[in-house]
Structure formats: C-alpha cells, structure tokens
Amino acid sequence: MLLELMGVAALLFGLFFCAVGVLGVIRMPDSLTRLHASGKVATLGLFGLLVGAALLMPSIWLRMLVLGLFVLLTSPVATHAIAASVYRRREIVAELGESGTPAEDSGFTSANVTAVLSRSRIQDIIEAQERALRQPGREAKGRRDN
Amino acid sequence: MKTRACGWQELKASLVMTESPYVQAAIQLILLALISLLIPASYRVIVGPTLPDRLQAVDLITTLLIGIIVMLALVEGTENFVDMAIALAAFAFIGTISIARYISEGRVF
C-alpha cells in the first residue's frame, strides 16, 4: 500500500515535470531557453517516471536503474550538443545572414548580445575607475564591486 | 530479498505488481496524459523556426516515448518493454549527437 502510494506519487511528479517541460518548449521565446525547459523533461520528468515504475513493479528495478543512469549520463550530452549547434548556427547567421548574404539588422544574435554585454561591461569599468579617481581611498572597494 | 518468517506473505503481497483498480486507473490515466503530451511537443517540430529547434523537439519526443514505453510496461505488466526503452534511449542519443554535429560542423564525423 505504501509502495503503491509512493509509486503513484513519483509517477505524478514525473508527469508534472514532463508537462511543464512540454509547456516550456512551446511557450519559451528563444532556442536556448527552450533547451533549458526540455532538459528538465529528460532528467526530472523521466527519472520520476522510472522511479515510480520501479516502485510499482519491483521485479524490473535493475533495468530501471540502468535506464535511469543511461538517461542521466546521455541527456546532458545531447542537450549540450544541441546548444552548441544553436550557438554555432547563430554565429553563422550573424556573419552571413539567414540566406547566406551579410545581415543588415538581424535582431537577437549572439554577436549583438556579446556586443551589448561587452559595452555595458566597459561602461561599468569606466564608471568604477572614475569613482576610484574621485575617491582615492576607495579604489580597492570600487574594484571589488565590479 | 531475504525471506522472513513472520509477515512474508504480506510483504510479498505488497511488493508484487498491484492489481488494485485505483492504481491501475491512475497508471492508465498517466499513460494517456503522456501520450497526449506528444501532440503539443510535435507542434515545435512542425513550426520550429530553425533546425536546432526541430532537433530539440524530436529529442523531447523521444524522451517522452521512453516514458510512454515504461508506462506501457506498467499497464501491460510486461517486463520486456523496458529493453525496448533502453534501446530507444541509446539510438536516440546517437541520432541526436550526429544531427547536432551535422548542424554545427557541417559533417557528422
């Protein structure tokens, strides 16, 4: 009775994370955020389903353990490969454009994001240096803040 | 598992795959919910704006299929379906890795 309750609870846990992952894959605005959502399905959702199945049907717990370990090992590797392909494809699109021609204003690309990030970082460093020049005693503290 | 003198029958009865109608109904409903999750997951395969999105959605569908096979093994009471799930996980990993390398590198090997 207790095993059945725990098994059904683990199955519901896994089903919840599968549903949340599929919802995230539909609703998230960007490729990398969608990858973040679908990684939850592979680890939490499927692992909850496997634990629930092993609790409800104890004769297959060894195979469930093998399958769970395999999924835990391989799914981050697959997700990382997809993320690397997304990043590489964005670099290509930012360099050449979607149709192979140089892009004029290609919106949210990795090159633009890097440019924006580095620009704000440079501004932070300049402001920190100016603050340090205005207050010579606080130089070390300003560096630690940034 | 060690056999004990007292309460072994009860322990064995609690460990054997349940025949309780509530648990059976719960398992079948969870299986139905997982199968119905395939439809919104295939939305991203069809609509997905770029190639890595479709690949990622196919990977998600494969993960859901592994879960569905495990739930099917629970519903049917058959242990051999789990081997199918292990084989599916292995082949899906190889396929995802090779297609992702094809997208990023332009070649597989």
Q: Distance from A91 to chain B by nearest Cα, in Å?
A: 10
pLDDT of amino acid B106: 73
- Report d(CA A17, CA A52) in Å as an integer: 13
Best mutation target among B35, B36, B42, B56 (most A Cβ atoms within 10 Å) is: B56
Closest partner residue to B74 (CB to CB) among A19, A57, A71 is: A57
Closest partner residue to A22 (CB to CB) among B17, B37, B96 is: B37
Q: Is the confidence at residue A146, as pLDDT, over 50?
A: no
Q: One digit per residue, pLDDT tens: chain B, 109 residues?
A: 544 455 555 555 555 556 688 888 899 999 999 999 999 999 989 987 888 899 999 999 999 999 999 999 988 888 888 999 999 999 999 999 999 988 887 777 7
Q: Is the confidence at residue A61, as pLDDT, over 70?
A: yes
Scanning every residue of chain A, which has its alpha carbon at the shortest distance from the alpha carbon of B52?
A86
Closest CA to B68 of A15, A132, A88, A108: A15
Burial A94-115 (b: 16+ CB within 10 A, else e): beeeeeeeebeebeebbeeeee
Q: Which residues of B touch A100 (CB under 8 A)?
A: none
ipTM of the complex as predicted: 0.80
Q: Any idea where the domains of chain A sit in the sequence?
A: 2-104, 109-146
